[in-house]
Amino acid sequence: MLIELKTRPLNAKDVGQMDFYVRLFNEKHAGPDNNPTIGLILCSSSDRTVAKYSALADGKGLFASSYVTCLPTEEELTDALEPTRRAIAEARAEREE
């Protein structure tokens, strides 16, 4: 997965640039057994038309999404990660049995 963070609204040039990055990565680094490379553009605001275009360009692999400009608190992050931490601990315990 290739991720690009934009601090300004998304535009068609950004989509083309990410498409280039995905194709270049596939050419230089992806192996035949790899899943398709995904390009994700996070931007401060997105034009729905451009975002839709990015998801449909070449039929796969490019997505655009807006992000919130404030970060969660440490407690909110801890709470959000707790179910994953618990699931990993349970899976390890099952393997050890």
Q: Which two tokens stand for residue 28?
A: 């230089």
Sorted by where each begins, the domain ranges of the chain are 2-69
Question: Is 86 exposed, middle or buried (CB count within 10 Å of its CB: 0-12, 13-18, 19+)?
Answer: exposed
pLDDT digits (tens, 9 = 90+) for 1-33: 888 887 787 777 888 888 888 888 988 998 888
Beta-carbon count within 10 A of 58 CB: 10
Task: Say which residues have a Cβ less than 8 Å from residue 80's Cβ, sequence separation at least 6.
Answer: 72
| pTM for this entry | 0.52
Distance CA 87, CA 85 (A): 6
